[in-house]
Structure 1
Amino acid sequence: MTTKAYIVGVGMTKFEKPETRDWQYWDMAEEAGTKALGDAGIRYEQVEQVPVGYCFQPSTAGQRAVYALGLTGVPVYNVNNNCATGATALMMARQFVEGGHADCVLALGFEKMARGSLGGGGADGGAADFATSPVARHYGIMAAAHGFEMSPPTAQIFGNAAREHMERYGTTEAQLAAVGAKNHRHSVNNPHAQFQDSYTVDEVLAARTVHRPLTRLQCSPTSDGAAAAVVVSERFVERHGLWHKAVEIVAQAMTTDTGDSFASGTCIDAVGAPMSRAAAQQVYAASGLCAADLDVIELHDCFSINELLTYEALGLCAEGESGKLVESGATTYGGRWVVNPSGGLISKGHPLGATGIAQAAELTWQLRDEAGARQVPGARTGLAHNIGLGGAAVVTVLRR
Structure 2
Amino acid sequence: MNSKAYVAGVGMVPFVKPGSGVHYDQLGAAAVRKALENAGLHYRDVQQAIAGYVYGDSTAGQRVLYQVGMTGIPIVNVNNNCSTGSSALFLARQLIESGAAECVLAVGFEQMQPGALKSQWDDRPSPFANFDTLCDEICPFEQPLALRYFGGAGKEYMDRYGAGPELFAKVKAKASRHAEHNPMALLRNVITPEDVMASPLVFPEVHLHRLMACPPTCGAAAAILVSADFARKHGLDASVYIAAQAMTTDLPGTFEKRSMMALVGADMTRAAADQVYAQAGIGPEDVDVVELHDCFAQNEVLTYEGLRLCPEGGATEFVDSGNNTYGGKYVVNPSGGLLSKGHPLGATGLAQCTELVEQLRGQSGVRQVANARIGLQHNLGLGGACVVTLYRRVD
TM-score, normalised relative to structure 1: 0.96
Amino acid in the other structure paired with 2:15: F
Cα distance, 1:327 vs structure 2: 2.1
Q: Which runs of 5+ in 2 are unaligned?
A: none
Q: Secondary structure at the match of 1:353?
A: coil
- Partners of 1:224 and 1:103 in 2: how far apart? 30
Give yes or no for contact 1:55–1:82 (8 Å, CA) kept in 2.
yes
- Partners of 2:212 and 2:260 in 1: how far apart? 18
The equivalences for 1:270-309 within 5 A come to 270-309=263-302
Asked whether 1:82 is paired with 2:76, we answer no
2:44 maps to what in 1?
45
1:228 maps to what in 2?
222
1:197 maps to what in 2?
189
Give yes or no for contact 1:9–1:38 (8 Å, CA) kept in 2.
yes
1:246 maps to what in 2?
239
Cα distance, 1:122 vs structure 2: 6.2
2:58 maps to what in 1?
59
Asked whether 1:164 is paired with 2:156, we answer yes
Give yes or no for contact 1:176–1:323 (8 Å, CA) kept in 2.
no
Q: Secondary structure at the match of 1:161?
A: helix
Query: Could you list the per-position Cα deviations for residues 187-226 of structure 1 after superposition, in whole angstroms to 9, with x for gaps in the alignment?
Result: 0010000110111001011111222322111101110100
- Partners of 1:360 and 1:157 in 2: how far apart? 26
Amino acid in the other structure paired with 1:220: C
Cα distance, 1:321 vs structure 2: 1.1
- Partners of 1:158 and 1:139 in 2: how far apart? 13
- Partners of 1:326 and 1:274 in 2: how far apart? 21
Cα distance, 1:146 vs structure 2: 2.0
Cα distance, 1:132 vs structure 2: 2.6
Amino acid in the other structure paired with 1:99: S
- Partners of 1:210 and 1:279 in 2: how far apart? 32
Cα distance, 1:123 vs structure 2: 4.7
2:147 maps to what in 1?
155
Asked whether 1:356 is paired with 2:356, we answer no
What RMSD over aligned residues (CA atoms) do the two structures have, in Å?
A: 1.3
1:207 maps to what in 2?
199
Q: Which runs of 5+ in 1 are unaligned?
A: none
How many aligned positions are there?
Answer: 391
Amino acid in the other structure paired with 1:280: A
1:186 maps to what in 2?
178
Q: Secondary structure at the match of 1:352?
A: coil
1:15 maps to what in 2?
15
Amino acid in the other structure paired with 2:284: A
- Partners of 2:312 and 2:132 in 1: how far apart? 24
Amino acid in the other structure paired with 2:5: A
- Partners of 2:167 and 2:361 in 1: how far apart? 32
- Partners of 2:106 and 2:239 in 1: how far apart? 16
Give yes or no for contact 1:122–1:132 (8 Å, CA) kept in 2.
no
Give yes or no for contact 1:117–1:221 (8 Å, CA) kept in 2.
no
2:375 maps to what in 1?
382
Q: Secondary structure at the match of 1:297?
A: strand
Amino acid in the other structure paired with 2:18: P
Identity of aligned residues (%): 51
- Which portions of structure 1, spanning 4 or more consecutive aligned residues, are displaced by more than 6 angstroms? none
- Partners of 1:92 and 1:36 in 2: how far apart? 18
Asked whether 1:321 is paired with 2:314, we answer yes
Amino acid in the other structure paired with 1:303: F
The equivalences for 1:120-135 within 5 A come to 121=119, 123=121, 132-135=125-128
Asked whether 1:144 is paired with 2:133, we answer no
- Partners of 2:338 and 2:147 in 1: how far apart? 14
- Partners of 1:291 and 1:370 in 2: how far apart? 23
- Partners of 1:114 and 1:146 in 2: how far apart? 26
TM-score, normalised relative to structure 2: 0.97
Asked whether 1:177 is paired with 2:169, we answer yes
Q: Secondary structure at the match of 1:81?
A: coil
